[in-house]
Amino acid sequence: MPQTLRIASWNINSVRARTAIVERFLREEAPDILCLQETKVADDIFPEGVFRQLGYNHIVINGQPAYHGVATISRVPVHERNVRDWQANGEARHVAVRLDNGVELNNVYIPAGGDIPDRDENPKFGQKLDFLTRMTEWSGDVAEKTILTGDFNVAPLEQDVWSHKQLLKVVSHTPIECEHLDRLQKASGWVDLARQFIDPEEKLYTWWSYRARDWEASDRGRRLDHMWVTPDLKDKAVSHRVHRDCRGWTKPSDHVPIVTEFAF
């Protein structure tokens, strides 16, 4: 019998500040696994209790105080915690686990890259490009049965942003970032599952700025959060959904969850 697993990814922008909406999401949607990014909490004070009360007893974290941080929270067994430092500076931006069926699940938070798309004027932008380059080198050795999900901080397609023309010089949609992400994708033939289920010609966003007076009315979003798989898992995905409604919840993250259902 196929095993159905629903895997979610969400940049929560501080898990302690937004525990209430994470709990609501888990109660209402009940994914089997939730990959969180930008948890902003050290490992020893990660709020495990609320997740364990909901049956998510397998918690694998890579955090640091106040910045960055990732966590994979699961109600099914996960094994073999692995952490990669693709920024080569010790920041907590990745954690991988292995599922019982042998699939490796990678949870990543790619740097945002600052505001100026020039590595000479803005070192953070250079760090982002270097991070993607190191990921591409790793990706060349990925063989099979791998999921890569998280906040990539790149909206690669024209319909992944509210205005392709106006955002060409805005970090997250510049040609050089999109080229780096394309090289990463090609390195292992990664399949972008959102665009397998949702036409690439259709607008699709997972992030809306806090700066917008009315984010829903202006709808100036970007698709920064992704669920990729190696080609051998493409046919295992049966649905993909962006939970746009979560952006309107009380004290929201600027990102919303994405959920893919797999039949392994």
Average pLDDT for residues 179-195, to the nearest whole number?
97
Residues contacting residue 77 through CB under 8 Å, at least 6 positions apart: 58, 99, 100
Q: Residues 53-112: pLDDT tens digits?
A: 999 999 999 999 999 999 999 999 999 999 999 998 999 999 999 999 999 999 999 999
Q: Indicate whether 220 pLDDT > 80.
A: yes
DSSP designation for 18:
T
* Domain span at 171: 4-263
Per-residue burial over 122-140, b if 16 or more Cβ lie within 10 Å, else e, is beebbbbbbbbebbbebbe
For residue 147, which of 28, 7, 11, 3 has the smallest C-alpha distance? Answer: 7
* pTM for this entry: 0.97
Rg (CA), the chain: 17
**Res 114: pLDDT:** 96
Q: Which residue, 87, 77, 181, is CA-closest to 130? A: 87
The confidence score (pLDDT) of residue 30 equals 98
Task: Assign 75 to helix, strand or coil.
Answer: coil
Q: How many domains does the chain contain in total?
A: 1
Instruction: For residue 140, give the CATH number of its domain.
Output: 3.60.10.10
Average per-residue pLDDT for the chain: 96
pLDDT above 80 (res 1): no
Smallest CA-to-CA distance from 195 within 141, 251, 138, 240 is with 240
Averaged pLDDT, 228-251? 97
Side chain identity at residue 105, one-letter code: L
| Ordered alpha helix ranges (H), 57-167 | 123-139, 164-167
What digits encode the pLDDT tens for the residues 110-162? 999 999 999 999 999 999 999 999 999 999 889 789 999 999 999 999 999 99
